[in-house]
Amino acid sequence: MPSVENHSVLGQRVGQENSTTLILPLYGRLTQAEQHRIFQNTSQRKVIVSTNLAETSLTIPGIRYVIDSGLARTSRYSPKNRVQRLPVEPIAQSSALQRAGRAGRVAPGVCIRLYSEESLQNRREYVEPENWNDLIHDKKTIIIDTRNNYEYSIGTFKNSLNPNTTKFREFPKWLKKNKFTAHEKNNKNIAMFCTGGIRCEKASFFLRNKGFKNVYQLKGGIINYLSKINKKRSLWKGDCFVFDNRVTVKHGLKVGNFKICPGCREPIKSSES
């Protein structure tokens, strides 16, 4: 379940209706002793209600059934408001498969998804910043920067393709001109990124409709990557424009060296203004 409030409601409902069931919450604010209750033996049927943050931190033995809500509370940085948010969002297909894998590790298990098979198949493949480097290092991966040309010009990931667009509606023309082969569509990984992830959603949907089988996008965009990945490990080179007054940021989201010229709308050094 994505939030602690969901745990309380579910615990009250099930606890009232079935005294043979033990409901145990699992989330980050619990004490260590409270969290360790999930490992204690009991004669009651044990139901563990976990947040997505806690579920990835612990391995719980003996899980036979997993009920997947299809939702997760995700950390997102808002460049406009300069705050970190925790919105509830649909999980990616890879996360859904990971959740299902928690059942049946020591005996046959069952995963019950509270959403349709169609919804599962249509979910995008998001890659966490911590796993992004491995993906773009792979020789089978084609890296596409879906941002506009002026953004690409001051910073991007190594070996990424530049569609040379000034607006997103030019992206389909670039894709058609590039003439990706059937082999590339079926066998290559397509790794896409943008500033915060919104443009990648549109590009990902478009590529899948054009027959690309393995489409991935950087979860939370470049902003999320720069906030989480240490500069020494980073494969990002240069600055990244954010939406707040069109200034740039660097690793650790420190203010960068460029801003948008109000006249020509092209990047200029902050020292030149």
> Which residues are catalytic, by number?
194
Please tell me whether residue 42 adopts helix, strand or coil conformation: coil
Instruction: Give residues with Cβ within 8 angstroms of 97, minimum separation 6.
Output: none
How far apart are the C-alpha atoms of 51 and 95, rounded to whole Å? Answer: 13
The DSSP secondary-structure symbol of 91 reads P
How far apart are the C-alpha atoms of 239 and 254, rounded to whole Å? Answer: 10
How far apart are the C-alpha atoms of 219 and 210, rounded to whole Å? Answer: 22
Contact of 259 with 267, CB cutoff 8 Å: yes
Contact of 135 with 127, CB cutoff 8 Å: yes
For residue 27, CA distances in Å to 8, 39, 67, 214, 259 come to 12, 15, 17, 33, 41
